[in-house]
Structures are given as structure tokens and as C-alpha cells.
Amino acid sequence: MKKHIFLCVIVLLALFSCKDEMEKTVFIPDEDDPNLPAYTEWGYNSFGAEYERDYFIVSNKIVPCKIVYNNHQLQFSLHGKSYSGRDMTLLFVFPLTIQMSDYKDLVRLDGVKIDLSENDCTVKMMQDHKETTLEVSEGTLHFKRAQILRIDDAVNRTILSGIFDVRFMENGFPATISNGRFDMGITNSVFSGQ
């Protein structure tokens, strides 16, 4: 009996530690630019992009992604730091006629490509708690793959993987965020939908 209880405790501890491990960020350096994460589709909770001569990358101390769906509009935000150490958030807001009430519904984004220069799209950048709406001249947010991750036949999370780039005006001069890539494991803890 004691062995049975001991085994149950070990199994529970393993399940809880596995859950904690899946929430962590895994940063695998890109072969061509090790300052950026490699593009993956495994739910590594990682992202990165070049921002002018700096980088905007995931941080282990910040929840990297949050998604809100409300009134046929999706807000997809990436939270991290620039290499210079500044807190930074990139927020993509765009219309979406597909109903999203649960994180599992995000699989409907598979292959969806958003033209960020369209009038009904907004891109905002927050640096050190100062929010700026970008004057986007060109840009794309491409959800290359959206897939459900199952563990022991139970849905665990939706993995969203893709790429992004944005050209915009900053203080009257052209600026770019390029080579952006993301690979997120999304659960209801970071998704809100109606």
C-alpha cells in the first residue's frame, strides 16, 4: 500500500513539473543569427526580431504572449526586451470574422496571413510603459502553423508559430522590425475570447 501511494505521489510530481516545463521559454539560437531564436513549431514560448540595429526578444521573466479576441477583433501581443535591456511589447490588432471563444479555436489561424498596412489593422509598440501607434507602410503577420498539442489524448495547448515584419515611420524617419518569428504554446491562462 505504501509503495502504491509513493508511486502516485511520484506520478503527480512528474505531471506538475512537466506542466511547469511547458510554460518555460526555450531559446534555440538561429544558425544564421544566434541573437534570434530559430524558427520552430514546437511551442517553445519563444520569439525574436531585429529592431533597427537592436533586437526585440523573449525574456524568461515576462509572459511572452497574450491574446484577446473581442468584437471580431484579435489582439496578439509579444512581450519581451530589447537587447539594450528595455521592456518592450509589440501589439498586433486586426479584424477576424472567425469566432474565438477558447484557446483551442486558435487552430483556425493556421496559414492566415495579415497585411498590417490595411486600414483596419493597428500595430502598437510599448517601450518602458510608453505606447506608440506605429504608422505602418508595409508589414505582414503570418500564422504559418496553428496546431493542437495533445498529451495522453487530452488537449494541452494550441501551438501558434509564424513570422512577422513591419516597416513604419518613427520620429519622422523610416524604421523596421524584420526577421520576426514566434513559436507560442497558448492556453486559457494567456487567452481571453468572447
pLDDT at res. 29? 97
Q: What are the cell numbers at 48?
A: 525574436
Binned at pLDDT 50, 70 and 90, residue 23 comes out as confident
pLDDT at res. 194? 79
pLDDT tens digit string along 123-177? Answer: 999 998 899 999 999 999 999 999 999 999 999 999 999 999 999 999 899 999 9
| Euclidean distance between CA atoms 49 and 108, whole angstroms | 25
Binned at pLDDT 50, 70 and 90, residue 1 comes out as very low
Q: Is the pLDDT of residue 37 over 70?
A: yes
Q: Is the pLDDT of residue 12 over 90?
A: no
pTM, whole model, 2 decimals? 0.88
Binned at pLDDT 50, 70 and 90, residue 2 comes out as very low
Q: Residues 6 or more apart from 53 whose CB is under 8 A from it?
A: none
What are the residue ranges spanned by the domains of the chain?
Answer: 2-193
Neighbours of 184 (CB within 10 A): 25
Give the residue, 61 or 131, on which the prediction is more confident.
Answer: 131
Q: What is the mean pLDDT of the chain?
A: 89
Specify whether the CB–CB gap between 58 and 64 falls below 8 A: yes
Q: What percent of the chain has pLDDT over 70?
A: 90
Residue 37 to residues 7, 67, 83, 100, 180, Cα–Cα distance (Å): 38, 21, 13, 28, 9
